Amino acid sequence: MVTREKDLISFKELSSLIVIMIGTKATDMTATLLFDRSLNAAWIVCILSFLIVLPSLLVLNYLLKKFESKNFLEITRCLIGKKLTFIIGFLFFLFALLKMAIDTRSYTDQLITVNLPKTPLFILYILLLLVCLWGAKKGWEAIASIAIMLLPYILIALTLLYLLLFKEIHFNRIFPLFGFGFKNITENSFHFSSMYADAFLIAMMYPFVKNHKTYTRGLIGSLTFTVLLVALLLLLYNLVFDYRSIDKITYPFNEAIRFVSIGKTITNIETFFLTFWLLGIFVKFTIYLYLVCKIFGFVFSIEEFEHTLLPITILVLVIGMVPENDISNIYSVRTIVSSFFEYGLLYLPFSLLIVYKVKEVRSR
């Protein structure tokens, strides 16, 4: 497929996509899981998880530069052949599909639990996916344009949240600084490295970024910013709610926006924050849906993969409605899905690099 100039995205657009995709993790049950396993060291685990993933991303970036206009799976096919790539690509597709189904169901449950308790799950879930389907049909460049327009408002809302909650902060709640200890932090840093799996999904769209320098700057710059953003949000939750109670709060972000007020008269301003949060969620899953279909199209050699958007959306709906409750959804299925990243995808770039170097030596 020929990449047209108008399909290429810039540094700002790529950065906006990555910040929205990963940054929103601080507003869902990921935060609760981090505090549950790491106490008030959750923000440290967030940073160390990124450092664990970073070498793999740098290796992948090196390979993308060497193969220029090829995406992650196309490089895999060039190095290890079609058959192995089909297996890896299919597993990659299942990982992305299940991840989207789990997360969309989780956010739908979050909306029902906190904001719309009388709304049927099935109806709200369909509405969420229909918005994502509509956005994905607009194409890659349109999604990136929406992300770059929306991100400044999201950041302004988060800055306002910080300022309004500052008076509720107790800095002594940062202690004990290392939670359960260094061993626990190290183990959980590896376990939660899947927080940054979206960076590997974005590598599927490498040919649609203007050039390698733009991709590198956008990836590393936005990831660094996002890590700091998520870590600061986790630290804010800890300083406001304390680690003794925060692991009992299912959705810390929603609790935080209910906690804020402007003076004694303006108390119910959570709708302001909720609006931008919802817009961010819609963009996040629009990107996910597009990337899932992109991977599916590569695995099964479907050049016009946009035609699979509707069937994949229906499949996400069916899978997402399977778990009986959110506990099963988050704790059981997410653990299995994350294991694929932690023990497979995370090491794939290193394996590909070894094969590349071996072939390079033999070709001399």
- Give the closest residue to 194 by CA, choosing from 17, 30, 15, 19: 30
The pLDDT assigned to 2 comes to 44
| Model confidence at 5: pLDDT above 50 | no
147 within 8 A of 17, measured Cβ to Cβ: yes
| Model confidence at 328: pLDDT above 60 | no
The pLDDT assigned to 120 comes to 92
The pLDDT assigned to 265 comes to 63
Secondary structure (H, E, C), the chain: CCCCHHHCECHHHHHHHHHHHHHHHHHCHHHHHHHHHHHHHHHHHHHHHHHHHHHHHHHHHHHHHHHCCCCHHHHHHHHHCHHHHHHHHHHHHHHHHHHHHHHHHHHHHHHHHHCCCCCCHHHHHHHHHHHHHHHHHCCHHHHHHHHHHHHHHHHHHHHHHHHHHHHHCCHHHHCCCCCCCHHHHHHHHHHHHHHHCHHHHHHHHHHHECCHHHHHHHHHHHHHHHHHHHHHHHHHHHHHHCHHHHCCCCCHHHHHHHHCCECCCECCCHHHHHHHHHHHHHHHHHHHHHHHHHHHHHHCCCCCHHHHHHHHHHHHHHHHCCCCCHHHHHHHHHHHHHHHHHHHHCCHHHHHHHHHHHHHHHCC
| Model confidence at 54: pLDDT above 70 | yes
The pLDDT assigned to 256 comes to 87
The pLDDT assigned to 249 comes to 80
Q: Binning pLDDT at 50, 70 and 90, where does residue 343 land?
A: confident
The pLDDT assigned to 63 comes to 95
Q: Binning pLDDT at 50, 70 and 90, where does residue 178 land?
A: confident
35 within 8 A of 238, measured Cβ to Cβ: yes
| Model confidence at 341: pLDDT above 90 | no
Q: What is the pLDDT of residues 286-302, one digit of tens each?
A: 999 999 999 999 999 99
Q: What is the pLDDT of residues 181-206, one digit of tens each?
A: 889 899 999 988 889 999 999 999 99
The single residue listed with the structure tokens 């918005």 is: 131
| Model confidence at 76: pLDDT above 90 | yes
Average pLDDT over the chain, rounded to an integer:
88
